Amino acid sequence: GVMFQSSTSGWTTAGLTMASYIFFDAGLAAGPFVAGTTVTGVTSSATAVIHRLVLQSGAWDGSATGYLALTTVSGTFQDNEALQIGGATFATSASGATTFAFPAGGHYQFINHNFFGSSTTYRAYGCNGVGPGFEIDENEIVTPILMPQTALGGQPATNIPKFIEEHRNYLFYGFPGGSLQHSVIGEPLTFNGFLGAAEFGIGDEITGLQSMAGAVLNITSTRETRGLFGKTTSDWEMKLLGEETGGKAYTVQKLDTIYSLDNLGITNLSRTDSFGDFIGATISQLVQDVVNAKKSLATTAVVNRASNQYRVYFSDGTALVMYSPAGSFNAEQSRTKLPTVHFGALKYPAAINRTFNTNDENGAEVTYFATADGYVYKDQVGGDFDGADITSFCRLHFNNVGSPGTRKRFRKADIELESSVNIDLKFLADLSYASRDTNSVIEDLTITGGGGFWNSATWDEFQWNAQAQSSASAKLTGTGDNIGFLVYNKSAKAQPFVLQGLTLYYEPRRLKR
């Protein structure tokens, strides 16, 4: 695996440093092992600069074991040689020095958090399910997070965490086999039970970790959802939140609450009105047939916070988009009526396998995704699919205009929409549930968009000859019981637009026979 970083000249691997690591034992004193000092192997005469010191077990009385993360390595360190600083021996190497590297494959997960007191220690932490977890610090140095060479009680069989989260200043990792581990508080590289790290057995494969408001860590597995309550290792309490509601791997995301896709559909985890507890609810009843057909194809999910969307992607290139207009969800109401969420669908030229949503260096929300054909893209940028047209459409429900038993002669439809540029639309009208006894009406509409007001709109971002609110009229012909519309666009230049309203003109005719 290769890591890139953004620069003024584009994406580059320059400037990134993969740290080396060497295990040690028989540690006598920790004082001299500080970042920036030089360590020397007595037998090999190899030298390196210490970047991180991680104590994994024992004490600094000759029983300490752990590892050093190193930079600027010169020479080849040997196993079982004395490690010295300034001519004094402080530990013995328990391995040679190995340069950390990312294995091929994996599904990368990241968090950004400052575990320390300084304003300059805001760092990234990740995992990939095929190798050890890692830290990326403010100097672009990548340091592995390693488990002890000699396995301790509760230590996972392999150091390949699949899921990551920060909760109450602990770094949590979810491992295969249902093992949940957290670091020492404020020490994300240190998994030492004596110093405060801990391990939990979930009893099922973990599929997602999310820290929730109210000091609860949500642990989703394939069959159920649990919550870790409490503040520290002294009062952790694991509770079952959803006995039959779990989530598929990499579909668990946090928006206004926790959403995931499981065998029942799209579920959310909402706080109840009583005792501040939580309950799971299925909220995809309106599109359940689609969910049932697609759920086995799910690859990943992401949220878009600016538009309040939860998106699930599938291996056939499609995606299901859920929009939550309420901003929060009441679990008590969800048991008595259909949820107030809306659904849409997307289709991409290639299947999306990986996604990540975060803020960039300027605080703006950005989303990246990787496709099955080997490319990485920035989401919601531009108006085309790598030069190809984007097709979009919206089909509205059939409207009987408040009189289902009366036939109507339809004359005209006025459309209002919000668009930043000119846009061409096809406007299709179907009568009487698209009965074969009626004809569809298709109108080609060219709409001028991007209007604004002087001294109000942003300069060079509006058009002088455009209306403040874009509109167009479509002629309608025919008589029917009801009418439904399809709005269609295919373009490589159109920008996102919003349908704001539609005014329908018609004449009542006779009663339906």
**Tokens describing residue 362:** 């300027």
pLDDT in tens, 237-258: 999 887 778 899 999 999 888 8
pLDDT in the model for residue 462: 66
User: Counting beta carbons within 10 angstroms of the beta carbon of residue 378, is it exposed (0 to 12), middle (13 to 18) or buried (19 or more)?
Assistant: exposed
Contact 210, 235 (CB under 8 A): no
**Which phi and psi angles does 293 have, rounded to 5°?**
-75, -25
pLDDT in the model for residue 111: 94
Closest CA to 268 of 207, 314, 310, 302: 310
Which residues are CB-contacts of 107 (< 8 A; sequence separation ≥ 6)?
Answer: 128, 129, 162, 249, 250, 300, 354
Contact 134, 125 (CB under 8 A): yes
Distance in angstroms (rounded) separating the CA atoms of residues 351 and 368: 14
Closest CA to 105 of 351, 301, 354: 354
Count how many Cα atoms sit within 13 Å of the Cα of residue 162 in the half-sphere of its side chain: 19
For every residue of 198-252, DSSP letters joined together read EEEE-SS-EEEEEEETTTEEEEEESS-EEEEESSSTTS-EEEEEESS----TT--
**Would residue 77 be called left, alpha or beta, if left means φ above 0 and alpha means ψ between -120 and 50 degrees?**
beta
pLDDT in the model for residue 30: 61
Residue type, 76: T
Paired with 126 in beta bridges are 110, 134
Which residues of the chain have a pLDDT value below 50?
272-276, 328, 331-332, 334, 336
pLDDT in the model for residue 354: 94
pLDDT in the model for residue 494: 85
Across 86-230, the runs of DSSP E, i.e. the strands, are 88-93, 98-99, 109-113, 123-127, 133-136, 141-145, 163-167, 170-175, 179-182, 198-201, 206-212, 216-221, 225-229
Count how many Cα atoms sit within 13 Å of the Cα of residue 15 in the half-sphere of its side chain: 14
Paired with 263 in beta bridges are none
**Tokens 């799209």 map to which residue?**
266
pLDDT in the model for residue 42: 96
Look at the chain and count its residues. Answer: 513
Contact 94, 80 (CB under 8 A): yes
pLDDT in the model for residue 275: 40
Distance in angstroms (rounded) separating the CA atoms of residues 21 and 189: 13
Across 348-422, the runs of DSSP E, i.e. the strands, are 352-359, 365-371, 376-378, 390-395, 406-419
